[in-house]
Amino acid sequence: MISWVIVQPFTDQATSDQTFFAKKICKDAHLNIFCIRTFAHPHICTSTTMSQLHQIALSFVNNIGPTLGRSLTSYFGDAETVFKTPKSKLVKVPGIGEKTAAALNFDIALQKAEAEMRYVEKNNITVIFYTDAQYPKRLKNCVDAPLLLYSKGNTDFNNKRVVSIVGTRNATEYGKDLCRQLVEELKDYDALVVSGLALGIDVAAHKECVKSNLATVGVLGHGLDRIYPAANRPTADKMLQNGGLLTEYPSGTIPDRENFPQRNRIVAGIADATVVIEAGIKGGALITAEIANSYNRDVFAFPGRVDDAYSEGCNFLIRNHKAGLLTCAADLAYSMGWERSEESKPVEQFMLPFDLSADEQTIFNVIQQHKTPVAIDDLSLKINMPISQIAMGLLNMEMQGYIRSLPGKMYKVS
């Protein structure tokens, strides 16, 4: 079936009459018709606007989740073509059977998308489809990544380094202090901090980022037409200046309980690493950590006292090797192989080792001469020494703080 799309401004009577007759002709000819009532410039309907309309509409179609939505878009080339394709051809797409095709509510989805387009335009919200360049690339690699995101603020979701911070809603002073320390130190690495703008550790992380002028993003479990909890609105408003808000939910979506586990997958998938600061044995923070592990992302946790209920979750993750033990941002940077940003680097002062053996001194000199990390195999070739002997020297120098090891058996001067 062919769908006609008509742009009808409310203020133009002639156009209104034309729309009436067009509808009648379509009805008599048994054609589908959909009327777009208004945009900011009602007489102009650009291909970009239409494309975005169909991208939003695809997220409103019954029984079409992120996976099927991506399959449809990939199969037909773009969202707009999906809506123009007869259902007889849609069933050829893997995962779309006769039952699913029969339930596709394209007309209703387009009407909802039209209303959402008006809201988005009015409130300066950015719509990010999964094929757009600004879509978070780390999240895009996750099998259940959202088809569409709504963003408000000023940030780059593809920042060089992204860290998610999660934790209990009942944060103690110990947890808040850890949060403050971590954020202050992360500034040296120019990291983007992501959290869920919930009470407790989430909002504490956002507040510290605002205070330290570090970019931070809050991922919401509802539409951008509200802030939940309402007490966090002042922080959310400040975040828009350096960071922002992100959600997969359209306006009008209320903070239902089932939305938050879905929100947590974005928090886990958008980051290089997830850090848990205070968490009970049950709750959203541990769910986020589990999701991050399922995405093969790094997870870290601050340990706490064995009898502390709000450290029980962190201790559990560390004990079961589901999170690396963290004491400061330097631990995180070391594990991730991160270097400090150029602005925060101190003037380099090479440590002059004085208690090394002759072999260790030779190894150290070769590493020091290279501006980039050196592999243990290359060291063996350069100094004609067995790898086992080099490994012993490297371990001794690392324990004394003269060098540091990096992923891939690479070494550099500390």
Summarize pLDDT for 93-111 with one digit per residue, the tens: 988 888 888 889 999 999 9
Lowest-pLDDT choice from 171-175, 241-245, 396-400: 396-400
Portion of the chain with pLDDT greater than 70, in percent: 85
Q: What is the mean pLDDT of residues 71-85?
A: 93
The CATH code that applies to domain 3-123 is: 1.10.150.20
**For the chain, what is the mean pLDDT?**
86
Q: What is the mean pLDDT of residues 392-406?
A: 87
What does the alpha-carbon distance between residue 186 and residue 386 come to, in Å, rounded to a whole number?
Answer: 39
The domain locations on the chain are 3-123, 138-336, 358-413
Q: Is the pLDDT of residue 136 over 80?
A: yes
pLDDT band at 345 (very low <50, low <70, confident <90, very high): low
Same fold, 3-123 and 138-336: no
| pLDDT at residue 75, as a whole number | 92
Q: Is the pLDDT of residue 19 over 90?
A: no
pLDDT 10s digits, 154-180: 999 999 999 999 999 999 999 999 999
Q: Is the pLDDT of residue 353 over 70?
A: no
pLDDT band at 207 (very low <50, low <70, confident <90, very high): very high
User: Residues 174, 304: contact at Cβ < 8 Å?
Assistant: yes
Chain CA centroid to CA 115, Å: 26
| pLDDT at residue 341, as a whole number | 72
| pLDDT at residue 79, as a whole number | 94
| pLDDT at residue 101, as a whole number | 87
Element holding 35 (H helix, E strand): strand 32-36
| Partners of 29 in the β-ladder | none
More confident residue, 24 or 374: 374
| pLDDT at residue 402, as a whole number | 87
Domain at 358-413, CATH class: mainly alpha
Which residue in this structure is represented by tokens 């039209």? 114
Choose among 147, 141, 163, 139: nearest CA to 270: 139
Question: What tokens were used for 286?
Answer: 């541990």
Q: Is the pLDDT of residue 53 over 60?
A: yes
Burial level of 75, CB count in 10 A (0-12/13-18/19+)? middle
138-336 has CATH 3.40.50.450 classification: yes
pLDDT 10s digits, 305-319: 999 999 999 999 999
| pLDDT at residue 245, as a whole number | 98
pLDDT band at 18 (very low <50, low <70, confident <90, very high): very low
Q: Is the pLDDT of residue 35 over 50?
A: no
| pLDDT at residue 398, as a whole number | 87
pLDDT 10s digits, 260-299: 999 999 999 999 999 999 999 988 999 999 999 999 999 9
- What global pTM score does this model have? 0.74
Q: Is the pLDDT of residue 400 over 90?
A: no
Choose among 322, 238, 244: nearest CA to 285: 322
| pLDDT at residue 404, as a whole number | 86
| pLDDT at residue 399, as a whole number | 84
pLDDT band at 17 (very low <50, low <70, confident <90, very high): very low
3-state secondary structure of 321: coil
pLDDT band at 48 (very low <50, low <70, confident <90, very high): low
Chain CA centroid to CA 36, Å: 32
Q: Work out whether strand 273-277 and strand 162-167 pair parallel, antiparallel, or are unpaired.
A: parallel
| pLDDT at residue 354, as a whole number | 65
| pLDDT at residue 182, as a whole number | 97
Q: Is the pLDDT of residue 16 over 60?
A: no
